[in-house]
Amino acid sequence: MEADRRGESSTISLSPSPAWPQWPIADERTLAALQDVLDSGRWAISGPLNDPAKYGKAKEQQFAEQFAEYCGARFCVTMDHGTSALIAALEALDIGFGDEVIVPGLTWIAPAIAVLSVNGVPVMADIDPATLCISVDSVAERITRRTRAIIAIHMYGCMADMDALRALADKHGLVIVEDAAHSHGAVWRGKKAGTLGDIGVFSMQHGKVLTCGEGGAAITDDPVLKERLEASAWNARCRISEAPALPFSMGLTEGLRRFGTNRCLSEFQAALLLDQLPRLDGQNTVREHNARYLERELSEIPGVITMEHPSQIDSRTYYGYVIRIDAQRFGCTAAQLILKLQLVLGMGDFMLHPVYKPLYRNPLYAPHPRRHGALGEAYTRALDTAEIMLPGCELVYEQAVVFHHSVLLASMEQIARVVEAVRTIYFEQQ
Ligand SMILES: *Cc1c(COP(=O)(O)O)cnc(C)c1O
């Protein structure tokens, strides 16, 4: 009915369609997983288990082991958010006051906020409009003697050039935090996303392709970094080595003498992740198939620019399906196209939206979170973004149209309607 009415009020007539897929996806199995946590009596890894023989390892530990194995990493440390995992990664790598960390100038704010959280200086590099990922040339131009790290982010359906970034990092003695919040399961030259940096970071927030509502994880092969990540996430505690044998035993105990705060993932979230992880590869395959179809069809329309995919990517994942609109050739801007498509296809802004604002003028990015006193005057100045202007970020901000990944889980008929709608809008403008 809803779709019918929208169809009538629009100049474009498309047949009414079934609803777009929901995200996240849950079923009876999900409910049973949550019920199991309720019954176990342990709602947090820092809480006691009342029947160890029946419930065994914490859900959190089960997920950490499964996710490490899935990624091909030695260790996984879970967290309450991806942002927490980024902060913990920087802490584990000893990034601190005044250290420069290079981040892309257009992405979600979390990486830059994480750098500010350890009193570092986020240095914004430009992105490559063809992939939306950080430009290696721009990174190279921004390396100074204060640079300590690069946060490489795989954006939407693409991956940052990890080979070139690794070569650059090695040359200058830098570490790489690989933010794989958009790309659970993507593969770069045989290696899963998250295993290409010194520490790989994931978000499991509501919109991500693997989700428990709010959650995160960091993965690494380095046992020292793993211990530090745990300390950082668990108030300096560490896991007791064996699953507790006695009722009401705690899962965490005193650990390293190191700064830590509470970033624990709850057992409910871990249970959701255990339920969702086995679905990930199947969903990624469907999304990749539909994205390739969209790419073939949409690239035929004048003024629509589809994303480039470096040949090193063996397996793509899509947090978002992105096209760019050359307004001159297409006939209207990306922003206008988004509004028209929302109306015609009945998509809310969770499903179809513009790209992030460039960081240096993003209202969510406030570079003066706390007072730094006399010691911090130079630091405060280093955070000033007033002079920053990155042409690649500006171009992408103007041109990008982002479909949320749930759209790629729709039926073939639904996906074909997206193509039809873009084509029709193009012809209307001519
Ligand atoms: C979502 C996201 C994060 C982390 O987000 P949380 O909401 O804290 O889990 C980090 N980096 C990128 C690129 C993201 O999209």
Last residue of a domain, one of 254, 277, 300: 277
Q: What does the pLDDT average to over 375-392? A: 92
Q: How far is the CA of 105 from the centre of ligand 1 (A)?
A: 15
Work out how many domains the chain is built from and give that number. 2
51 with 186, same domain? yes
Query: Does residue 366 form part of some domain?
Result: no
Q: What is the pLDDT of residue 1?
A: 36
Average pLDDT value for residue range 234-244: 81
**Dmax over Cα atoms in the chain, in whole Å?**
74
pLDDT at 387 over 60: yes
Are 382 and 122 in contact by the 8 Å Cβ rule? The answer is no
Per-residue confidence (pLDDT) for residue 7, from 0 to 100: 39
Asked if residue 128 and residue 10 are part of one domain, the reply reads no
- What are the two backbone dihedrals, phi and then psi, of residue 305, each rounded to the nearest 5 degrees? -110, 120
175 lines ligand 1 (CB under 6 A): no
- Is the pLDDT assigned to residue 217 strictly greater than 60? yes
| Per-residue pLDDT band at 249 (split at 50, 70, 90) | confident
Does 284 lie in the same domain as 266? Answer: no
Strands 175-179 and 400-404: unpaired
Q: Do 243 and 333 lie in a common domain?
A: no
Are 406 and 306 in a shared domain? yes
Is the same domain home to 349 and 206? no
C-alpha torsion 85→389→173→314, nearest 10: 60
Tell which atom from ligand 1 comes closest to the C-alpha of 86.
10
What share of the chain in percent tops pLDDT 90?
A: 82
Instruction: Give distance in angstroms: CA of 40 to centre of ligand 1.
Output: 30
Q: Does residue 424 sit within a domain? A: yes
The response to whether residue 82 sits with its C-beta less than 6 Å from ligand 1 reads: yes
Same domain, 47 and 161: yes
| Strand arrangement of the beta sheet that strand 191-192 belongs to | 191-192, 187-188, 313-315
- Residue-averaged pLDDT of the chain: 93
Q: Which of 203, 209, 319, 404 to mutate to test the pocket of ligand 1 (most atoms within 8 A of CB)?
A: 203
Query: Distance between CA atoms of 127 and 34, rounded to whole angstroms?
Result: 41
Sheet of 199-203, strands arranged across? 75-79, 216-220, 199-203, 175-179, 147-153, 100-104, 121-125
CA-83 nearest atom, ligand 1: 8
CATH number at residue 421: 3.90.1150.10
Distance from Cα 201 to the centre of ligand 1, integer Å: 9
Atom of ligand 1 nearest to the CA of 110: 10
Three-state secondary structure string covering the chain: CHHHHHHHHCCCCCCCCCCCCCCCCCCHHHHHHHHHHHHHCCCECCCCECCHHHHCCCHHHHHHHHHHHHHCCCEEEEECCHHHHHHHHHHHCCCCCCCEEEEECCCCCHHHHHHHHCCCEEEEECECCCCCCECHHHHHHHCCCCEEEEEEECCCCCCCCHHHHHHHHHHHCCEEEEECCCCCCCEECCEECCCCCCEEEEECCCCCCCCCCCCEEEEECCHHHHHHHHHHHECCEEECCCCCCCCCECCEEECCCCCCCECCCEHHHHHHHHHHHHHHHHHHHHHHHHHHHHHHHHCCCCCEEECCCCCCEEECCCCEEEEEECHHHHCCCHHHHHHHHHHHHCCCCCCEECCCCCHHHCCCCCCCCCCCCHHHHHHHHHCCCCCCCCHHHHHHHHHEEEEEHHHHHCCHHHHHHHHHHHHHHHHHHC
Closest ligand 1 atom to Cα of 84: 8
Residues 147 and 287 in one domain: no
Whether the pLDDT of residue 16 is over 60: the answer is: no
71 and 104 together in one domain: yes
Final residue belonging to a domain, choices 277, 309, 328: 277
The CB density around residue 235, as the number of other CB atoms within 10 Å, is 16
Ligand 1 centre from 303 Cα, in Å? 31
Task: Please write the tens of the pLDDT for every residue from 333-342.
Answer: 999 999 999 9
**Residue 382, in any domain of the structure:** no
Same domain as 200, residue 104: yes
Q: Does ligand 1 lie within 6 Å of residue 178's CB atom? A: no
What is the rounded distance in angstroms from the CA atom of residue 167 to the CA atom of residue 163? 6
Between 3 and 322, residue with greater pLDDT: 322
C-beta separation of 110 from 203 below 8 A? yes
Atom of ligand 1 lying closest to residue 82 CA: 9
Q: Do residue 212 and residue 351 come from a single domain?
A: no
Spatial distance between the Cα atoms of 151 and 326, rounded to a whole number of angstroms: 29
| pLDDT for res 316 | 94
Span 200-213, pLDDT tens digits: 999 999 999 999 99
Q: How far apart are CA 322 and CA 402, in angstroms?
A: 5
**373 falls within a domain:** no
- How far, in Å, from the CA of 404 to the mean position of ligand 1? 15
Structural domain for 128, as ranges: 28-277
Q: Give whole-number Cα distances, 48 to 45, 78, 242, 252, in Å.
A: 8, 19, 14, 9
Residue 193 lies in a domain: yes
Instruction: Summarize pLDDT for 49-93 with one digit per residue, the tens.
Output: 778 888 888 999 999 999 999 999 999 999 999 999 999 999 999
User: What pTM was estimated for this model as a whole?
Assistant: 0.94
Q: Which of 246, 277, 308 is the last residue of a domain?
A: 277
State how far the alpha carbon of 150 is from the alpha carbons of 100, 196, 246, in Å: 9, 12, 45
Which residues in 176-200 are b (16+ Cβ under 10 Å) and which e? bbbbbbbbbbbbbeebbbbbbbbbb
Please tell me the distance from the alpha carbon of residue 83 to that of residue 232, in angstroms, as a whole number: 13
pLDDT at 188 over 90: yes
Cα(22) to ligand 1 centroid in Å equals 20
Q: How far is the CA of 10 from the centre of ligand 1 (A)?
A: 36
* Co-location of 248 and 290 in the same domain: no
107 CA: nearest ligand 1 atom: 13
CATH for 268: 3.40.640.10
